[in-house]
Structure 1
């Protein structure tokens, strides 16, 4: 089956947290025989900051950030058996959705794939006339990369025919154990761009423990932090390209996951970085969110903190040997249960059933 996928970017992870998700899942689907074309706009300097070349397993079409170019690529939806419009494309999302739905052929499976369900649902609740909300009746299926029952119930309540989570996972071809690198040496490392929905939690779970442990080295990666006041034991290294993620995760004693507030509130929303870090054998410390045990076992495969004091206490009592053991258990778990090959099996089963239903309905 042919998939036309309209998303933010497959080629660049620059200000694009969904890149790893897209790459892992679409590669796994391609290995199952899907013919995939990914359409991404040239916006936010992403094409200037590519971190992969166009892959063999997926055709990538980069279009200019103009209405004319958008309409041109949307017209290609008519050639696909499955048409996917993702959230957060970054250029005229509402218009792109309308154009893609307009061009999708009769009988094609039409999917809205939400990679930030809490943010999208907040918009839909506040605006009954939101274009996506009004279009849900024309969409066959909503897929999300997290959220669990709260997100599923919310989408159904807003009129979606159905909603199914396809969770983040590990792409073991790109994220795996590597040798440690001295530049990433630290007691605790955190990688994440500065976002308003997460900044207060970064202050609580990362900056505060750093002030409590002044003799320990903390490593901060990600964009947007250059003007943030930081204690002297925090080293900010800016944007970390995907090629360096394995070493960033494998080198420190522990790696911190901090959910955005909306993700933590909804639960069942492990960030992509959870699986990236586990795939590199990192010892993960995460802020608490409902549903953690579905993915990793607290206390054995992942450490859970409810505030900054917990983070400081966990670090203070954690030896390098203990950290390595936790990381190895996490690696084993994700390789067995949480790879994109696992997720592709789920997606493939959904596509085949729903495509048959969509075809029969026409």
Structure 2
């Protein structure tokens, strides 16, 4: 099939989790024989940080204005088998309405921020999607599963809301036998609603465990944060260094945004990346987490600082490695980008059937 994807970014992973998600998924779609054009708005905050300016798995084009998008890519959008618009695309409502009018094939919205999106809709904040537009897309691809899917269909009129969780590329994320630099590390862009949990589960633990070494990697943290002396800061860590980062930690911390905790069933890409590296994860709790990983044997859940200190000081190295390996096996079984690409193919087949399009050939030859 011919895909056109209009997304936040595939060229720059700076300050966002969209790029690595798109990269892993599109790479596997290309392996399945699909032709892909990714369209990305050229914005000044990504321009200096393009760590993959020329992806080998898709055609790539930057546009400066929506008028340029309309004028230069109308034919590609009109003739594509599938057109996907992603969350947080600038002027995404305008882009989405244009896609609905222009595209002849399946039209999908890919929400990498579903709980945030729904919270914005409740506030009548229509930054990149509106209630009316949801009902016009043939498929609503959601990073969040569970009851939110029924809500999207019943309340907003989506013809088909389907979970398309984030995933991991096992060719990029795998265990390496390296000496641990840190007892506990965290990788994530600063956000107001995550920082209290970072303070509770990492900074407070570092203060109580001064002989331990800790690290926080990610941009946009305010200078006003008072980091403990044994917490190292890394301002930006490009994806090429993520595997090494995970493999030099004894444990990695997963922290979830409040909207996603409220929604549940919202795994982050960092969760799957760390697990694929065989690094045991200490996570905050949210509904659906234990449906993905078994507590105690595949993931460790911390509700307070003492939980973290207990894990760091009482679990043997053998048990620590076993927990990490168990999580890795789970991810490789069902949460790779290859698995997601095949799920997406199936959703598209369902949408085509629902619209009484002609049947598709076999998987990989569509």
TM-score (norm 2): 0.91
Matches within 5 A, 1:25-40: 25-40=25-40
Cα deviation for residue 181 of structure 1 reads 6.3
Tell me the alpha carbon deviations over residues 130-186 of structure 1, each in whole angstroms, 9 at most, x when there is no partner: 85212223211101122x22321221212211211011122112212234267xx11
Query: Which residue of 198, 204, 223 maps to 1:208?
Result: 204
Query: Which residue of 137, 140, 146 maps to 1:139?
Result: 137
Cα deviation for residue 38 of structure 1 reads 0.7
Question: What residue in structure 2 maps to residue 99 of structure 1?
Answer: 98
- Cα RMSD, aligned residues only: 2.0
Tell me the alpha carbon deviations over residues 96-129 of structure 1, each in whole angstroms, 9 at most, x when there is no partner: 1122222112xx1111111000111112222298
Distance 1:144 1:25, change over 3 A: same
Matches within 5 A, 1:60-75: 60-64=60-64, 66-72=65-71, 75=74
Distance 1:69 1:179, change over 3 A: farther
Question: What residue in structure 1 maps to residue 361 of structure 2?
Answer: none
Query: Which residue of 166, 177, 180 maps to 2:178?
Result: 180
Matches within 5 A, 1:211-230: 211-225=207-221, 227=223, 228-230=225-227
Residues 1:7 and 2:7 aligned together: yes
TM-score (norm 1): 0.92
Question: What residue in structure 2 maps to residue 281 of structure 1?
Answer: 278
Cα deviation for residue 35 of structure 1 reads 1.1
- Alignment length (residue pairs): 354
Larger mean CA deviation between 345-354 and 243-252 belongs to 345-354
SS at match of 2:227: coil
Distance 1:176 1:47, change over 3 A: farther
Question: What residue in structure 2 maps to residue 196 of structure 1?
Answer: 192
Matches within 5 A, 1:99-138: 99-105=98-104, 108-127=105-124, 132-138=130-136
Contact 1:226 1:236 in 2 (8 A): no
Aligned-partner Cα distance in 2 for 1:291–1:115: 17
Cα deviation for residue 226 of structure 1 reads 5.2
Question: What residue in structure 1 maps to residue 364 of structure 2?
Answer: none
Unaligned runs of 5+ in 2: 359-366
Query: Which residue of 166, 171, 193 maps to 2:164?
Result: 166
